[in-house]
């Protein structure tokens, strides 16, 4: 028992040391992403996780960014992705919890630190959305590798997710070298 506790404390200490070395926006995003993953693990469903990510990416872009050709294209890619995966668009989009994910969780994390500014929160929100996109890419890749017969039908979804990533970089005003 003591050995397990010591190992856990060492592991936590290393994690805390790594967090302390991160830039504030990366630290906020990292801690918030861990909370989101905890929520998704409770659902224990890859489909739910993918739908959650798509819904929240779409809601984030629609709610927090002005309408431009880039934001319209990104939202269109979210809708195409839902269609390629054979899901009901209206049902998926109502799953969004963007206020909880992009505001409430971040506020909770920010309250623990005194070295954060508004732009750190905004960057952390964008990093979270990119993490959701990465999770989609990984999940689609995993399913395609597990089921070669589904590879052909899922290829358009994978391509759309990669395209969405590029569009998100544009929407967020990042240079492509930042991702």
Report residue 86 as tokens: 């054979």
49-82 as b/e: b if 16+ CB within 10 A: bbbbbbbbbbbbbbebbeeeebbebbbebbbbbb
pLDDT at 55: 97
Instruction: Give the whole-angstrom CA distance, residue 39 versus residue 33.
Output: 10
> Is it the case that residue 75 has pLDDT exceeding 80?
yes
pLDDT at 5: 57
Collapse the DSSP code of 19 into the 3-class scheme (helix H, G, I; strand E, B; otherwise coil) and give the result: helix
pLDDT at 163: 96
- Residues contacting 166, CB < 8 A, separation 6+: 176
pLDDT at 19: 58
Sign of the dihedral through C-alpha 61, 48, 86, 165: positive
Band (pLDDT 50/70/90 cuts) for residue 60 is: very high
> Is it the case that residue 70 has pLDDT exceeding 90?
yes
What's 68's DSSP letter? -
Q: Give the number of other CB atoms < 10 A from CB of residue 41.
A: 10
pLDDT digits (tens, 9 = 90+) for 83-136: 999 999 999 999 999 999 998 988 888 777 666 555 567 888 999 999 999 999
What is the C-alpha end-to-end distance of the chain, expressed in Å?
A: 42
- Per the rule left: phi > 0, alpha: psi between -120 and 50, beta: everything else, 173 is left
Residue 147: what are its φ and ψ, rounded to 5°? Answer: -135, 85
pLDDT digits (tens, 9 = 90+) for 12-54: 555 655 655 667 777 788 888 888 888 888 888 899 999 999 9
Q: Are 51 and 92 in contact (CB under 8 A)?
A: yes
């Amino acid at each position: 028992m003591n050995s397990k506790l010591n190992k856990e404390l060492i592991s936590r200490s290393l994690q805390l040391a790594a967090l302390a070395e991160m830039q504030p926006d990366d630290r906020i995003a990292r801690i918030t992403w861990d909370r989101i993953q905890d929520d998704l693990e409770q659902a224990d469903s890859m489909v739910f996780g993918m739908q959650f990510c798509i819904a929240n990416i779409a809601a984030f872009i629609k709610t927090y960014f002005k309408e431009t050709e880039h934001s319209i294209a990104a939202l269109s890619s979210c809708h195409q992705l839902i269609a390629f995966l054979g899901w009901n668009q209206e049902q998926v989009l109502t799953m969004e919890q963007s206020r909880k994910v992009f505001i409430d969780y971040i506020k909770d994390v920010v309250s623990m630190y005194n070295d954060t500014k508004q732009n750190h929160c905004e960057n952390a929100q964008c990093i979270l959305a990119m993490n959701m996109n990465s999770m989609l890419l990984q999940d689609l890749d995993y399913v395609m590798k597990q089921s070669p017969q589904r590879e052909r039908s899922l290829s358009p979804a994978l391509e759309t997710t990669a395209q969405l990533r590029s569009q998100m970089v544009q929407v967020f005003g990042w240079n492509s070298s930042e991702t």
